[in-house]
Amino acid sequence: MSDVTRILDRVQQGEAKAAETSKPGLSTFEARASMLGVMSTAPDVVQAQTGAGFVGNLQHRFVRQFKVQVADWQDTCRELAAWEDHFLVESAPGERRLEHAAMLDELECVGRWLAATGGQADFEDPETTGPIQLTLQDLRDSRAMWHGQVSEARRREILRDCFHES
């Protein structure tokens, strides 16, 4: 069995395990976090070498997994934007605002954790840390837009400008 086949099998097992262990009503973020947890506990397919390269390989795997987690978090944040379009823009927003605020709280909490991890002095990767900060700002803007002290007229104006509606 090739390494690629083993990796694909491990990913499928992780997805299946996450689906089995997830509870009904879990958010997309929670389901992904569950899958990442299952996948991260699986043994690496490639045998780690011993000696001088051992620690370097471990660091490389940690950085690779961190970047995957950042990408998954950003994907979930983009999914939130689609959720906003559907539930806050296209329907009566009042009934879903509390749910939206809770999702923002969770995503911002994870984003701050990722930013703190990426902000360590020995982690110099602006291609990863820069987008974390931009995504956190998008979440703060979303909170201001839907939960801040913005008048209804201003909110409609912003939505019109964002969606180029006349």
The number of domains in the chain is 2
Q: How far apart are CA 92 and CA 100, in angstroms?
A: 13
> Which one, of 36, 38, 104, lies nearest residue 72 by Cα?
36
Q: Which pLDDT score, from 0 to 100, does residue 130 have?
A: 93
The residue written with tokens 């979930």 in the block is 76
Residue span of the structural domain in which 16 resides: 1-47
Stretch 101-119: mean pLDDT: 94
Q: Is residue 119 classed as helix, strand or coil in its secondary structure?
A: coil
Count other Cβ atoms within 10 Å, centred on residue 84.
19
Give the mean pLDDT of the chain. 75
Say yes or no: 28 and 96 in one domain: no
Say yes or no: 64 and 98 in one domain: yes
Q: pTM for this one?
A: 0.61
Would you say residue 20 has pLDDT above 90?
Answer: no
pLDDT digits (tens, 9 = 90+) for 37-76: 444 444 554 454 555 576 778 888 988 999 999 999 999 9
Longest dimension (CA), the chain: 65
Say yes or no: 39 and 73 in one domain: no
